[in-house]
Amino acid sequence: MKILLVGSGGREHALAWKIMQSPKCDQLFVAPGNAGIAQMTTCVPIGVEQVSELVEFAKNEKIDFVIVGPEAPLVLGLADKLREVGIAVFGPSKVAAQLEGSKGFMKDLCRKYNIPTAAYERFTDIEPALAFVDKLGAPIVIKADGLAAGKGVVVAMTLDEAKDAVKDMLSGNAFGSAGASIVIEEFLDGEEISYFAICDGENLLPLSSAQDHKRVGDGDTGPNTGGMGAYSPARLMTPQMETEILEKILKPTVAGMKADGCPFTGVYFAGIMVVNGVPKLLEYNVRFGDPECQTLMMRLESDLVEMLYAAATGKLDTVKPVWSDNPSLCVVMAAKGYPASYVKNTPIRNLDKAANINGVVVFHAGTAEKDGEIISVGGRVLGVTATANSVAEARERAYAAVDSLDWPEGFCRRDIAWRALSSDVAE
């Protein structure tokens, strides 16, 4: 098959790495890719939101299969346009992508099909929204309905903070039209995990779990980020927990999406809060997580292309993933300053040395090549990923790789997987 992968992050480098291992892949193009991907295969300079250019490229190159990494092109309808011209695609239609593209859509689906999630209401006007904030009390969570580059959620510890967020979003000051409609919901206190399953519209194929670290600083301090590191599987993921997530959350979602006329093809990334042992759905993403994907790809032993193609063509009941018994762990290296403004265009050296450590793969995110050197061009820059026969050893390997890099302008958290390695009793 000739395959086109859309995206440029660490998630896409990990997907590309796994796609290239598939005997089904004759040729892989990545649009737009990054410097790490360019060392493996051909990058095409088309941005992820240039939907018509992507479709034209796929037609001209006679691409057999398109795999879409990020949510933005899905919400813009890339998968629909590819299907219209007869090209198989892994990723949901524009309407089905509303599960991530509209928080209100996702919450209403939960309400309709009795899927456990935080209590909520939707608002477009300030006065009733403020009254609801008073009624529910703090802590409380305010969410912009639309995509806001991962920044549209305010977990407010006080009523004042919550009311400021309501006014900022509904007045259009924050997030523009994405904030013109909001969801206000109950604060859930628990431990967060990420769960992944793929779907062909009808059949659901459970994958595995991971746990991300969203705050920028050690001990989960400082501002939220896109994710500073992850390990897989998550410590709370017992067989009973998995069954509960599948039966109470994912299966009703698959059935509900189908019944509502928008069957979902692609990957369900369920953000789950485990509250006193009970899983509740925080949100759906319609793509793999980044850096969760890096940890999943390191553990996947079966053919990724076969699995994703089966999902795209309605044959998911014919495949089954095989996972390594070994856990994996990914440490994200970011440019100093991230998630606020950060330094750019600084050289990263000794990448080969890091990659030579046993069990380690260094996935690139915001990198480019300049004058024969790899330089940083984004906030999250590398995903140093390791596998070993324990989380502790995977962590040692990943940090040994981090320490062998020569990149003074980069930083990382030093405590990835602390929950898995602490003696705290799991929820």
| Binding-site ranges for ligand AMP (CB under 6 A) | 118, 141, 153, 155, 185-188, 192, 214, 271, 282-283
Segment (H or E) for 279: strand 278-285
Residue 311's binding partner out of ligand GLY, ligand AMP, none, with CB under 5 to 8 Å set by partner kind: none
Report angle CA 84, 85, 88 to the nearest 5 degrees.
85
Token digits of residue 393: 């050893």
Say which residue the tokens 């009254």 belong to: 131
Residue 290's binding partner out of ligand GLY, ligand AMP, none, with CB under 5 to 8 Å set by partner kind: ligand GLY
Least distance (Å) between residue 398 CB and ligand AMP? 22
Least distance (Å) between residue 267 CB and ligand GLY? 11
Least distance (Å) between residue 130 CB and ligand AMP? 19
Closer Cβ to ligand GLY, 327 or 383, answer by number? 383
Least distance (Å) between residue 312 CB and ligand GLY? 21
Q: Can you list the positions of beta strands (E) in 95-252?
A: 120-123, 140-144, 153-156, 182-186, 191-200, 204-212, 215-217, 221-224, 229-232
Closer Cβ to ligand GLY, 269 or 399, answer by number? 269
**Residues at the contact surface with ligand GLY, assessed by CB under 6 A:** 212, 226-227, 285, 289-290, 292
Least distance (Å) between residue 227 CB and ligand GLY? 3
Backbone angles phi, psi at 37, to 5 degrees: -65, -40
Residue 200's binding partner out of ligand AMP, ligand GLY, none, with CB under 5 to 8 Å set by partner kind: none
How far apart are alpha carbons 89 and 144 in whole angstroms?
29
String of DSSP letters for 109-128: HHHHTT--B--EEEESSHHH
Residue 192's binding partner out of ligand GLY, ligand AMP, none, with CB under 5 to 8 Å set by partner kind: ligand AMP
3-state secondary structure of 369: strand
Residue 155's binding partner out of ligand AMP, ligand GLY, none, with CB under 5 to 8 Å set by partner kind: ligand AMP
How far apart are alpha carbons 170 and 177 in whole angstroms?
9
Closer Cβ to ligand GLY, 108 or 192, answer by number? 192
Partnered with residue 66 across adjacent β-strands are 4, 89
Least distance (Å) between residue 139 CB and ligand AMP? 8
Residue 283's binding partner out of ligand AMP, ligand GLY, none, with CB under 5 to 8 Å set by partner kind: ligand AMP
Partnered with residue 364 across adjacent β-strands are 382
Buried b (16+ CB within 10 A) or exposed e, 383-410: bbbbbbeebebbbbbbbbbbebbebebb
Distances (CA, A) of 215 to 212, 220, 259, 385: 9, 5, 37, 19
Closer Cβ to ligand AMP, 40 or 148, answer by number? 148
Closer Cβ to ligand GLY, 36 or 291, answer by number? 291
Closer Cβ to ligand AMP, 52 or 114, answer by number? 114
Residue 185's binding partner out of ligand GLY, ligand AMP, none, with CB under 5 to 8 Å set by partner kind: ligand AMP
Closer Cβ to ligand GLY, 181 or 285, answer by number? 285
